[in-house]
Amino acid sequence: MGLLKKKTVLPGFGLSLGFTLFYLSLIVLIPLSAVFLRTTELSWDEFIAAVFSPRALASYRISFLASLTAALVNAFFGLILAWVLVRYPFPGKRVVDALVDLPFALPTAVAGITLTALFSANGWFGEWLEGTLGLKIAYAEPGIVVALTFIGLPFVVRTLQPVIEELEPELEEASAILGASRWQTLRKIVFPQLVPALLTGFALAFARALGEYGSVVFISGNMPLRTEITPLLIVTKLLQYDYAGATAVASAMLAASFVLLLLINLLQRWSRRYQNAN
């Protein structure tokens, strides 16, 4: 209660909180609860059977692993990309900056088809990767990671950019003057300030990848137990008019994603402990 009563300078707290709750319910909670409601058509045993069937379990594994891998790749290269885009002037910077947003705007099916054409055995990359190195990308697990990396890139870059812009170069200079090596400055001064934003970007890219369907179905090969992602399994169930089974798998995925995102949020809070010290 004390939390709600706290006086602020700006008016309208009650009204805006009310609106926030109403809006969130309308846009997020009601549609999501419809998912859970639909699963109540199943008995408990049927629900367990649908959620823990071997095909569903295999699909969670591939979905979570591929999304995690893609988000990690994005976190690493996205950080570098964001750093370069903010800190260094170079010709064509604006174009590169605009390119980062492309995966946002491109219909995911187009991305999927393009990536498949590039990475399949007769494509530009695939010819070399598969022919020379024997690495199968399209129609195999790595293809899924490639597609998910593509669509997740902007999330990391766009969350990091404003934070990097806010970094004060004076801190780095001070660190250098006080005798820190460049590596120490990076590790102890710069990086801790970026961690919260990096985690946010990572979480966004991860969440986006978990739900991705359009681009993956083209490149993954869709083999049950091997390259069938959970969203595809859900769609397959829908196509068989098994709405309850589809929502059962969806709710399992939703619950798992929610827990993971919550954990990432907690981690973020913990990583911010220095900033909020005062």
Partner 1 sequence: MKKTLSLFTGLLLAGSSLLNAKDIELLNVSYDPTRELYVEYNRAFAKHWKEKTGDDVKVKQSHGGSGKQARSVIDGLQADVVTLALANDVSALHNKAKLIPEDWQKRLPQNSAPYTSTIVFLVRGGNPKNIKDWDDLVRPGVSVITPNPKTSGGAQWNYLAAWEFARQKYGSDAKAKEFVAKLYKNVPVLDSGARGSTTTFVQRGVGDVFISWENEAFLAQREFGKGKFEIVIPSISILAEPTVSVVDKVVDKKGTREVATAYLEYLYSDEGQDIAGKIFYRPTNPKFVKKYETQFPKLNLFTIDEKFGGWTKAAKDHFADGGTFDQIYVK
CB nearer to partner 1: give 153 or 253.
253
CB nearer to partner 1: give 24 or 225.
225
Q: Rounded to 10 degrees, what is the CA torsion of 221, 223, 227, 230?
A: 110
CB nearer to partner 1: give 16 or 122.
122
Tell me how far, at minimum, the Cβ of 228 lies from partner 1, in Å: 8
Tell me how far, at minimum, the Cβ of 227 lies from partner 1, in Å: 9
- Take residue 62 and report the two structure tokens written for it: 């591939």
Task: Give which of 237, 231, 221, 207 is closest to 49, Cα–Cα.
Answer: 237
Please enumerate in sequence order all residues whose Cβ is within 8 A of that of 15, keeping only pairs 6 or more positions apart, or say none: none
CB nearer to partner 1: give 159 or 236.
236
Tell me how far, at minimum, the Cβ of 112 lies from partner 1, in Å: 11
Q: How far is CA 4 from CA 1, 13, 222, 258, 269, in A?
A: 5, 9, 50, 26, 21
Judged by the rule CB under 8 A, the positions of this chain that interact with partner 1 are 53-55, 116-117, 120-123, 138-139, 217-218, 221-225, 235-242, 245
Helix (H) or strand (E) holding 122: none
Please enumerate in sequence order all residues whose Cβ is within 8 A of that of 108, keeping only pairs 6 or more positions apart, or say none: 151, 212, 213, 214, 215
Tell me how far, at minimum, the Cβ of 174 lies from partner 1, in Å: 56
Please enumerate in sequence order all residues whose Cβ is within 8 A of that of 179, keeping only pairs 6 or more positions apart, or say none: none
Tell me how far, at minimum, the Cβ of 256 lies from partner 1, in Å: 21
CB nearer to partner 1: give 34 or 225.
225
Kindly give the residue spans of alpha helices, DSSP state H, lying in 40-53.
44-51
Q: Which amino acid is at 184?
A: Q
How many angstroms separate the CA atoms of 144 and 149, rounded?
Answer: 9
Tell me how far, at minimum, the Cβ of 119 lies from partner 1, in Å: 10
CB nearer to partner 1: give 122 or 265.
122
